[in-house]
Chains A and B, each alone.
Chain A
Amino acid sequence: MRSLEIGDDCLVLAQRLAEWVTYAPTLEEDVALANLSLDLLGQARALLSRVGDEDELAYLREPSAFRNCLLVEQPNGDFAHTVVRHLLYSAFLFELYGGHPEDDVAAKGVKELAYHRDYAALWAVRLGKGTEESHRRMSAALETLWPFTAELFEDEPELRRPWDAYVGRVLAEAALAVPECAQRSGGRKGEHTEHLGALLSELQVLHREHVGARW
């Protein structure tokens, strides 16, 4: 498994989800999103530690040195965007981890990701089939985020088929149509959207201002 790429995916998505803390629609959802974030942060730490010093990697790299896919750095938007992003990404990571039972991070992570995928799918169906407005917001989120899906499979094309099957089933149940749109990529080469810079400046500000700070 590619520790740097997947470790960066987990770190960036964990940070995105953590942005919801104290802002989520309900207290219950706040804790749920924080739990998802902490699962991913744990995986990020384990994976990045294989590459080098986890703190240096997280806090001292410029955006262009990050190898995460573009999907995970996309802003939270409304709750629909967060649900769609999480469905698309967790379905991918679930398949990836599932193919590496010999890897301890993947073997533990696949159980966590099974829950993430299920959680996102439950919300996708509820919002997709909820009210006119929730359906409209889900469709808009899908339009915005679908262009970042092909990049997931650049290095693991064999995961596309099971991913398509799962995501397709959820979207069908949610009465949502797969949009047709041009695809974007570049994250794995360090060519990121403008959103990553802002995310990292918040993630890294404390460490950069107070080097070696401890609680």
Chain B
Amino acid sequence: MTLWEVFVRPRRGLSHVHAGSLHAEDAQLALRHARDLYTRRQEGVSIWVVPAGEITASSPDEKDAFFDPAGDKPYRHPTFYELPEGVRHL
């Protein structure tokens, strides 16, 4: 059986978030199992299932090369702006 990764969107406007994984024979059954396993308590309004083998992941060995160089570049953060008054959710 194929291993599937499950992504659930909790509410309209939010992104799909990885919820877990499951085994299923095909995509249609994977979707239904995901519904039963990960949205039993109304956690979601939308589900994606993706064959785990189709995901290309970064390797822990590459962590330094991938992520460390961003550490000393604070100018990439949008922290140098004055927030106009009254703007919320930013």
* Residues of A near any B CB (own CB < 8 A): 26-29, 31-32, 35, 118-119, 122-123, 126
Contact = CB atoms under 8 A, between A and B. Distances in A.
A27 B3 CA distance: 13
Contacts of B1: 26
Interface string B42-68: 000000000000000000000000000
A89 B8 CA distance: 31
B32 A31 contact: no
B36 A122 contact: no
A32 B36 contact: yes
B22 interface: yes
Contacts of A35: 36, 40
Contacts of B25: 126
Given A26-B23, A28-B24, A122 B37 contact: no
B79 interface: no
Given A122-B28, A126-B25, A28 B33 contact: yes
B40 A28 contact: no
Contacts, number: 27
B17 interface: no
Nearest to A28: B33
Nearest to A29: B33
Nearest to B25: A126
A32 B28 contact: no
Contacts of B26: 126
27 contacts: A26-B1, A26-B23, A27-B23, A28-B22, A28-B23, A28-B24, A28-B33, A28-B36, A28-B37, A29-B33, A31-B33, A31-B36, A31-B37, A32-B32, A32-B33, A32-B36, A35-B36, A35-B40, A118-B32, A119-B32, A122-B28, A122-B29, A122-B32, A123-B29, A126-B25, A126-B26, A126-B29
Contacts of B37: 28, 31
Contacts of A122: 28-29, 32
A29 to B, nearest CB: 8
B48 to A, nearest CB: 17
A32 to B, nearest CB: 5
